[in-house]
């Protein structure tokens, strides 16, 4: 036991333990009726770490060619010890990560945590959202099954609708005119090299900014505590908040394990580029609202195709969403009701179109 303690002290001294732990002890987390929302960012981070770990394990066996991709995933699922678990956890954690990321984003929006001086934290978060969605899009193709192949074909077709640069971008992403082995290679490189590098950089920036500016207080709580200072309550980030965060992480871990055991991710059938697209092809749930919107738009709106208008509209909406902190000048200390309406509309639209997409596909 003494040897363990002296080993711990050896590393503590050499890794700047004093500086790190004194900062963590000083860092405070406000405790109020909205504090539960603070856990969502940490859960998203935890799931990202799960993705990295399981992704590295999958990398040991996965082969990114059309001839071997599907077979290597089948080998992982059927032959590799606990391969089924790693693969299912990777697939489920991807979906859960996006779900918690969206929940985190909307909770930050509703609680106005993007206010000055946290605008860059919000912007880095939006970039992380785009990177995570690209992770999902690129990773979906890698098993090279029928659904993945045609979902990628449809998805990259939509990218081709962007005016001026769309066609070039589509060809660049696909590595040619159609989805082929070149697309698989590209998406693999994107998924395991470029995106992780970018995501790590932006994640570190995001976490750094959260650390230096601390946890944001919602405007209503700020006003309450200003009026009644005795109601102010805070806990230390370390170890108190971390302990609670750890509980949430363990619950997420249990959920992942349960999903992997009871609803293992299916292998599907190997992609056949010469076969027609299966009836009712649709994207994963996090792209469903975009897909469904484009489906219901008319073929032409003015001189442009409905799809081009839809893609541009979503691009504009994403840009406005990223610039949200710069529109919400009035929220310093007061809630801007119109902004709440905008955020509610965004949440409602995404939810409704997602549900509609699944209902229409029945």
Partner 1 sequence: MWVGLSLWLMVPPVVSAQNAPNSCLDCHQQLDPPLQVTPESWMGSIHQQKGLSCISCHGGDPSSTDPAEAMSPARGFRGHLSRRDIPKLCADCHSRAEYMRRFNPSLRTDQYAQYLTSTHGKLLEHGDQRVAVCTDCHGVHDIRAPTDPRSPVYPLNVARTCARCHADAAYMKPYHIPTDQFASYTASVHYQQLVNAGDLSAPTCVTCHGSHGAVPPGVTSVVNVCSTCHVFQAQLFERSPHRAAFEQMQLPGCVTCHGNHRIVHPTDTFVGTGSESVCVRCHAPGDPGYNAAATIAAHLSQLVTDIDRSAQLLNQAARSGVEVSEAQLELGQARDALMKARVAVHSFDVTTVDQNIQAGLEITRRTYRAGLDALAELRYRRRGLAVSLVTIACVLAGLWLWIRRSHSLSHAKED
Query: Which member of 77, 124, 145, 152 binds partner 1 (CB under 8 A)?
Result: 77
Q: How far apart are CA 75 and CA 97, in angstroms?
A: 26
29: DSSP letter? E
Q: Closer to partner 1 at the Cβ: 260 or 309?
A: 260
Assess contact for 320 and 343: CB atoms under 8 A: no
Residues 215 to 254 in contact with partner 1, rule: CB under 8 A: 239-240, 243-244, 246-247, 250-251, 253-254
CB of residue 77 to partner 1, shortest distance in Å: 4
Query: Which member of 78, 277, 319, 344 binds partner 1 (CB under 8 A)?
Result: 78
- 257 belongs to the binding site for partner 1 (CB under 8 A): yes
CB of residue 338 to partner 1, shortest distance in Å: 40
CB of residue 63 to partner 1, shortest distance in Å: 17
CB of residue 190 to partner 1, shortest distance in Å: 27
Q: Which among 1-9, 74-82, 206-214, 338-346 is the span making contact with partner 1, rule CB under 8 A?
A: 74-82
CB of residue 156 to partner 1, shortest distance in Å: 28
Phi/psi zone of residue 195: left (φ > 0), alpha (ψ -120 to 50 degrees), beta?
alpha
Residues 262 to 281 in contact with partner 1, rule: CB under 8 A: 262-264, 266-267
Q: Closer to partner 1 at the Cβ: 154 or 235?
A: 235
- Beta bridge partners, 300, equal 305
Torsion angle of the four alpha carbons 60, 61, 67, 73, in this order, in degrees rounded to the nearest 10? -130
Element (H, E) at 300: strand 300-301
Query: What sign results for the dihedral spanned by CA atoms 109, 204, 155, 69?
Result: negative
Query: Which member of 74, 232, 295, 335 binds partner 1 (CB under 8 A)?
Result: 74
Collect all residues with Cβ–Cβ distance below 8 Å to 318 and sequence separation of at least 6: 126, 130
**Alpha helix locations (H) across 142-241?**
146-159, 166-174, 181-189, 195-213, 219-227
Q: How far apart are CA 9 and CA 3, in angstroms?
A: 10
299: DSSP letter? S
- Beta bridge partners, 234, equal 30
CB atoms within 10 A of CB 132: 22
Query: Which member of 22, 65, 200, 258 binds partner 1 (CB under 8 A)?
Result: 258
Q: What is the per-residue binding string for partner 1 in 138-167, x denoting contact by CB under 8 A?
A: ------------------------------
Residues 80 to 99 in contact with partner 1, rule: CB under 8 A: 84-85, 88
Site for partner 1, rule CB under 8 A? 74, 77-78, 84-85, 88, 239-240, 243-244, 246-247, 250-251, 253-254, 257-258, 261-264, 266-267
């Amino acid at each position: 036991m003494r040897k363990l303690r002296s080993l711990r002290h050896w590393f503590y001294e050499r890794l700047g333990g004093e500086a790190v732990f004194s900062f963590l002890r000083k860092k405070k987390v406000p405790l109020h009726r909205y504090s539960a929302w603070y856990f969502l960012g940490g859960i998203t981070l935890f799931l990202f770490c799960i993705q990295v770990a399981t992704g590295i394990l999958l990398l040991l066996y996965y082969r990114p060619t059309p001839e071997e991709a599907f077979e290597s995933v089948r080998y992982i699922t059927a032959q590799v010890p606990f391969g089924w678990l790693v693969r299912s956890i990777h697939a489920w954690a991807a979906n859960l990560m996006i779900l918690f990321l969206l929940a985190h984003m909307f909770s930050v929006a509703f609680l106005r945590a993007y206010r000055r001086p946290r605008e860059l934290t919000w912007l880095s978060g939006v970039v992380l959202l785009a990177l995570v969605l690209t992770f999902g899009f690129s990773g979906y193709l890698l098993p090279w099954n029928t659904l993945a192949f045609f979902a990628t074909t449809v998805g990259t077709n939509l990218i081709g609708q962007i005016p001026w640069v769309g066609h070039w971008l589509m060809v660049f992403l696909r590595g040619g005119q159609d989805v082929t082995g070149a697309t698989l290679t590209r998406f693999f490189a994107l998924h395991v090299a470029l995106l992780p590098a970018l995501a790590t950089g932006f994640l570190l920036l995001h976490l750094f900014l959260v650390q230096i500016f601390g946890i944001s207080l919602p405007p209503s709580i700020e006003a309450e505590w200003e009026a009644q200072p005795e109601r102010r309550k805070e806990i230390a980030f370390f170890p108190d908040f971390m302990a609670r965060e750890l509980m949430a992480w363990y619950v997420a871990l249990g959920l992942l394990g349960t999903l992997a055991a009871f609803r293992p991710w299916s292998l599907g059938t190997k992609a056949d580029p010469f076969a027609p697209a299966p009836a009712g092809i649709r994207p994963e749930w996090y792209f469903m609202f975009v897909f469904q919107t484009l489906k219901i738009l008319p073929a032409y709106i003015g001189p442009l195709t409905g799809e081009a208008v839809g893609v541009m509209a979503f691009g504009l909406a994403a840009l406005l969403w990223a610039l949200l902190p710069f529109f919400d000048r009035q929220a310093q200390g007061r809630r801007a009701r119109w902004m709440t309406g905008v955020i509610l509309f965004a949440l409602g639209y995404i939810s409704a179109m997602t549900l509609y997409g699944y209902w229409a596909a029945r």
